[in-house]
Amino acid sequence: MASTVGNAAPGKPIAIAVVGIGKIARDQHLPTIAGNDRFRFAATVSLSGANEGVPTFKTIPEMVAACPDVSAVAICTPPRGRLALIREALAHGLDVLVEKPPAATLSEAEAIAAAASGSGRVLYATWHSRAAPGVEPAREWVSGRNLDKVTVAWKEDVRVWHPGQEWIWEPGIGVFDPGINALSILTRVLPAPLLLDEATLGFPENKAAPIEAALKLTDAAGVPVEVDFNFDQRGPQTWEIAITSGDDTLRLTHGGGKMELNAVEQPLSSEGEYPRLYARFAELIDARQSEVDLSPFRLVADAFLLGRRTTLAAFDWNG
Ligand code: NAP
């Protein structure tokens, strides 16, 4: 998708509003925007009226009316409801960065891509884990090799990363909220498209979304990929992908922040994921180009289509 118009005056920082001021907006987006001189944090759109030292508005149209210099938004709300926000932002002439996953359903995600196409605005559907420093070096290592096996262990504690967020247990994403980060890396690093063979999804008896998932996939070249996702991991958190080729094993650990080749740590850039995402957003705005890849999300939808469901013990935020 590409277009030729834009709002940001040449040479001036891009005035950006952040929509949805929650954990990820505060942990990553606000500090990253503050540290990138291509952007100027200009406003928030916040149902709770978050006070971040800039004007705050309940809706995007109110924000646009009061802040005509704002030309971009970063959408950091939960996935459900994003389609309406993105359509509204595009219709008001804004370039849009959206947190992962791009939407609540595959049809909505496709509608988002369609809304951006031909709108004359930039849509950047981010996958923050793809911006981890080990991902591109791993992709280069994999390129041209015959792979034997890929294993993924992505296990974190929902209580730490989503404290009190009830939306995560609404019908839908659950453990795939972190798991899709691993899928976003796999779909970037592996050269051939992935197909889902089997899935098992474990649901707490009191929740409508899975807390664990095991997937068996095969890439189009026949390489088996085994995936283990868990949202109830106490103690050390695990975000690891191991790729075996003959006698060699490449391991991405720390969500792609570190890379080992045959147990020897490899040097990587120290630049963080979110600074890279915002640098990419500025590039896309300059080029008037959108970037939307739904392949990780499609695999999640496949897991819900094919997955066998098991019922697990009730989930307790204080358990
Ligand atoms: P969160 O803490 O619940 O924040 C979401 C914010 O969105 C809320 O504070 C609220 O802000 C706004 N909001 C609008 N409609 C909402 C609704 N119906 N329910 C709840 N909040 C609503 O969530 P988060 O952890 O920041 O996650 C947001 C997105 O970032 C998710 O897609 C997630 O996958 C992604 N993400 C999260 C993390 C993480 O570590 N938590 C890491 C990477 C990516 P206002 O009151 O200001 O409107």
To test the pocket of ligand 1, the residue of 24, 75, 126, 317 to mutate (highest count of ligand atoms within 8 Å of its CB) is 24
Q: Do both 165 and 242 map to the same domain?
A: yes
Print the domain residue range for 78.
14-125
96 and 67, same domain (yes or no): yes
284 within domain boundaries: no
Same domain, 242 and 259: yes
Name the domain boundary from 95, 125, 155: 125
The answer to whether residue 89 sits within a structural domain is: yes
Overall pTM > 0.85: yes
Is residue 3 over pLDDT 90? Answer: no
Tell whether 102 and 173 lie within a shared domain. no
As given in the structure block, the two tokens for residue 183 are 């899928």
Question: Are 165 and 199 found together in one domain?
Answer: yes
How much is the pLDDT for 31? 98
Say yes or no: 164 and 305 in one domain.
Answer: yes
Distance CA 110, CA 133 (A): 28
pLDDT of residue 220: 86
- Quick check: is 75 in a domain? yes
Question: Nearest Cα to 97, choosing from 13, 18, 23?
Answer: 18
Is 319 inside any structural domain?
no
Are 138 and 254 in a shared domain?
yes
Q: Where is the domain boundary, 125, 144, 170? A: 125
What is the CATH classification number for the domain harbouring 160?
A: 3.30.360.10
Gap from CA of 243 to ligand 1 centroid (Å)? 32
Across all residues in the chain, what is the average pLDDT? 95
- Measure the CA–CA gap between 305 and 310, rounded to whole angstroms: 14
Section 22-29 average pLDDT? 98
286 vs 122: CA distance, rounded Å: 10
Instruction: Flag whether pLDDT at 44 surpasses 90.
Output: yes
> CATH code at 38?
3.40.50.720
Buried b (16+ CB within 10 A) or exposed e, 111-145: ebbebbeebebbbbbbbbbbbbbbbbbbeebbeee
Residues 114 and 214 in one domain: no
pLDDT, position 1: 34
Q: What mean pLDDT comes out for the span 287-298? A: 97
Residue 25 Cα: closest atom of ligand 1: 26
Q: State whether 161 and 247 are in the same domain.
A: yes
pLDDT at 6: 46
Total domains present in the chain: 2
Over 60: is that where the pLDDT of 28 sits? yes
Among candidate residues 103, 125, 147, the one where a domain is terminated: 125
Which one, of 239, 193, 237, lies nearest residue 219 by Cα? 193
Q: Assess if residue 40 is contained within a domain.
A: yes
Same-domain check for residues 112 and 237: no
Nearest to 191 by CA among 113, 256, 139: 139
- Which ligand 1 atom is the nearest neighbour of the CA of 44? 47
pLDDT recorded at residue 87: 96
66 with 113, same domain? yes
Give 292 Cα–ligand 1 centroid separation in angstroms: 20
229-283 residue pLDDT tens: 999 999 999 999 999 999 999 999 999 999 999 999 999 999 999 999 999 999 9
